[in-house]
Amino acid sequence: MALTRERILETAVRLADRDGPDAVTLRKIAAELGVHVTSLYNHVPTRDAVTDGIVELLLDEAKLPTGPVAWDDWVRQYVDGVVGIAATHPGAFHALQQRPVQGARAAASFEVAMAAFTEAGFSTSDGFAAIKSASYLALMIGMERSMVARGEILETHLDELPEESFPLVRAIEKDVADYEYVWTFGVETLIAGLRSRLA
């Protein structure tokens, strides 16, 4: 089978999901493909190029909005898309935290978002800030979602805290600390805050 950039990147995603993000090196990708490492250089000359390519593949898979959409729907769809790839690619998702978005394909949803925010009445600077805020939120929720998918979620042991000093924290029940509820709460709170700037 011919060696292509797409095949290399798909292998990198598989490696990250199977063995963790630190497993994605040019040498390990080459070994996985059964080729010499130097044969990768024409397609992905550096580790950063591999990471950029992983981000591109994941954002393609996320099906982020690329057509006309209301600004609040863009926020919901963007976060849902990013969090979705955290669930399906918990190892490869780490690439989104390492490199900024590069290239026209990856940036297409941001152009749509700027149009949605400015058409709704946000200033250019507020529109940009809103997109960055949604991106931060999506990455943080995605990071936690990828940990849940890997079974690595870290929890505070509330029952070990002295009840006399932490009565309110100790009163939090497991069913209250529901991840899905917290993630949705964060998104809807961001939208409510942005909407208040238009008022």
4 within domain boundaries: no
Report the pLDDT value the prediction gives residue 173, as an integer from 0 to 100. Answer: 67
24 within domain boundaries: no
Which CATH number characterizes residue 131's domain? 1.10.357.10
68 within domain boundaries: yes
35 within domain boundaries: no
10 within domain boundaries: no
Are the C-beta atoms of residues 70 and 116 closer than 8 Å to each other?
A: yes
Alpha carbon distance 156, 182 (integer Å): 16
Mean pLDDT of all residues belonging to the chain: 91
Name the residue range of residue 174's domain: 48-198
CA 77 → CA 74, 84, 150, distances in Å?
5, 10, 24
Residue-wise pLDDT for 136-190, tens only, equals 999 999 999 998 888 887 677 878 889 899 888 888 765 566 788 889 999 999 9
How many domains does the chain fold into? 1
Alpha carbon distance 118, 143 (integer Å): 29
Maximum Cα interatomic distance, the chain, rounded to a whole number of Å? 66
110 within domain boundaries: yes
Residue-wise pLDDT for 94-150, tens only, equals 999 888 887 787 788 999 999 999 999 999 999 999 999 999 999 999 999 998 888
23 within domain boundaries: no
Report the pLDDT value the prediction gives residue 92, as an integer from 0 to 100. Answer: 94
Alpha carbon distance 87, 6 (integer Å): 22
111 within domain boundaries: yes
